[in-house]
Structure formats: structure tokens, C-alpha cells
Amino acid sequence: MKGKITDIQGTFTLHNGVKMPYLGLGTYQAENNQEVIDSVKYALEIGYRHIDTASIYQNEEGVGTGIKESSVPREDIFLVTKVWNADQGYDSTLKSFEDSIKRLQVDYLDLLLVHWPVKEKYKDTWRALEYLYEHKKVRAIGVSNFLQHHLEDLMTDCKIVPMVNQMEFHPYVVQQELIDFCDKNTIQYEAWSPFMQGKVFNLDICKKLAAKYNKSIAQIILRWDLQKGVVTIPKSVHRNRIESNADIFDFELSQEDVAYLDSLDRGERIGPHPDHFDF
């Protein structure tokens, strides 16, 4: 447990002292039009302060517009994007960063992630992120989809240990050993696809827990994430769901129920395996 879980704007502190809101809005598959603009504005209006996108989502312009059109000052928002695989390598990563901030209509990022561990490229990509961090273009840098051996390889000669590792994380892919490794190295763990692309809503145990706590299955899962010290970024474009996903601060799962959700881990991925992706 990383400090108290208090409210929608509560944070976990990264190893460089930057505070990262532990609940954010994911924008994967949100259309780069009014849909993503509105979802960002809804989230900020409701109280979210963490927005996650990626260059490959092709909606950075809409995310940037949503932020601009909201009444929340830029400095109060934790904005995240990612370097796509085709842009990896030192110079191309620097160019990718410039392209992203132009689309997002901002002059800095709060967090920049390496999207996937592209063989023989991710170390050069990381060097570019270190450069951006040292030159204060980004407040924090991290990785996504890095298993322990990727992290160990990166850490053999990096100057800065990643501050975040964003992973597929849900009851069927917990990877507790990887979480423990990240904790030991003060790398903040973060979940993508917390709802298993909707499959979590069909699990009997989740239905039982929802009934026990008088909460939705989504709320049970998001609360589990936070109690495990995992940052989570559920994606929705519907105002009522964005609001409902944030209604997780008036109850607490018992340690037994957290452990039971952990025990469902079966290594069953929704997305590609980080050792076997081909894009």
C-alpha cells in the first residue's frame, strides 16, 4: 500500500518526487474528434487530473483540445503520452516527442513512456527520454510493457531508472513478481486494460464482490488496483461511466478479497505478450 487512497485527485509519489494521480482517464480507441474532446472535458470537470494518450492512438489533437477547452489550468493536469515502436531510436524519439507536444498543444509533458520494448532500439529510445528529462521537457519518464528482463537490461547502463512501468493488469494477469521487482526498484506500477476489455464483467467472483460491497464490478476492480498501489487509467467516453469509475473512495476491499482477486492470475493476456509482439 502506497499511502492512503483518499480521493479522485490523490497521488502516488514517483522516485523523483513528482506526484502522479493514481486514477486517470485512458483514451485508447477514443475517436480523434468531439468524442475524445468531450471525454477529456467530462473527466476534468468531474475532478480527474490525469489524462493518458499515445501517438499511436491518433487522438493527441483531440486530447489537447479537450484540455484547452476545459477550465482546468495545464499545470494542474498530469498529461501522459507514449513513443510508438516505429519512432523508436534516439533521433526519431526526439522528433516523435516534438510532434506529440505540437499535436497536444502543450510545451511539456508530465510523463513520457516507451510504448513497447522494441529489440535493439529501446535503449537508444531511453537515452532520448533521459535527454528530454534532463532538459526539463518532461517531468517524468517511464516504460510500458517491459517485463523484468527488459527492465534489468535497461538498468544495466541507464542513467535514470524508469519512474513508471505501465502494464496489462487485471485479475487474469497480475504478475505479482514483476510488481514486487518494480516496488523494490521504486518503479511505479500502472495498469492498462483493467477491465480485460470488458471480460471482467462476466467473472462470477467479481459479480459476488460487487453484490457484497454494493458497488459495480468496475468500481471493485479499480479499488483493487489502487489498494495494490497500482495507478489505473480506465477508458470511457461516456460521462456517466467516467463519473462512476471515480466513485471508489467511500469503501475499501478487505485484505482477503484483495488476495482472492490476486489468486485469479492465470497469465491470460488480452493484449500481446511483451516478448512476442510483431508491430
The CA distance from 93 to 129, in Å, is 8
Asked whether residue 199 carries a pLDDT value surpassing 60, the answer given is: yes
Q: How does DSSP classify residue 15?
A: T
CB 222 within 8 A of CB 244: no
Q: How does DSSP classify residue 23?
A: B
The answer to whether position 255 is within a domain reads yes
Return the percentage of the chain with pLDDT > 90, whole number. 98
CB within 8 Å of 139: residues ≥ 6 apart: 18, 108, 109, 110, 111, 133
pLDDT of residue 275: 96
The answer to whether position 90 is within a domain reads yes
The answer to whether position 2 is within a domain reads no
Domain count within the chain: 1
Task: Give residue 4's pLDDT band: very low, low, confident or very high (50, 70, 90).
Answer: confident
Q: Which of 22, 42, 57, 133 is catalytic?
A: 57
Annotated catalytic, 42? Answer: no
Task: Give residue 2's pLDDT band: very low, low, confident or very high (50, 70, 90).
Answer: low
pLDDT (tens digit per residue) in 211-256: 999 999 999 999 999 999 999 999 999 999 999 999 999 999 999 9
pLDDT (tens digit per residue) in 15-71: 999 999 999 999 999 999 999 999 999 999 999 999 999 999 999 999 999 999 999
Domain boundaries, position 167: 11-262
The answer to whether position 273 is within a domain reads no
The CA distance from 168 to 270, in Å, is 8
- Could you tell me the CATH number of the domain that includes residue 123? 3.20.20.100
Task: Give residue 1's pLDDT band: very low, low, confident or very high (50, 70, 90).
Answer: very low
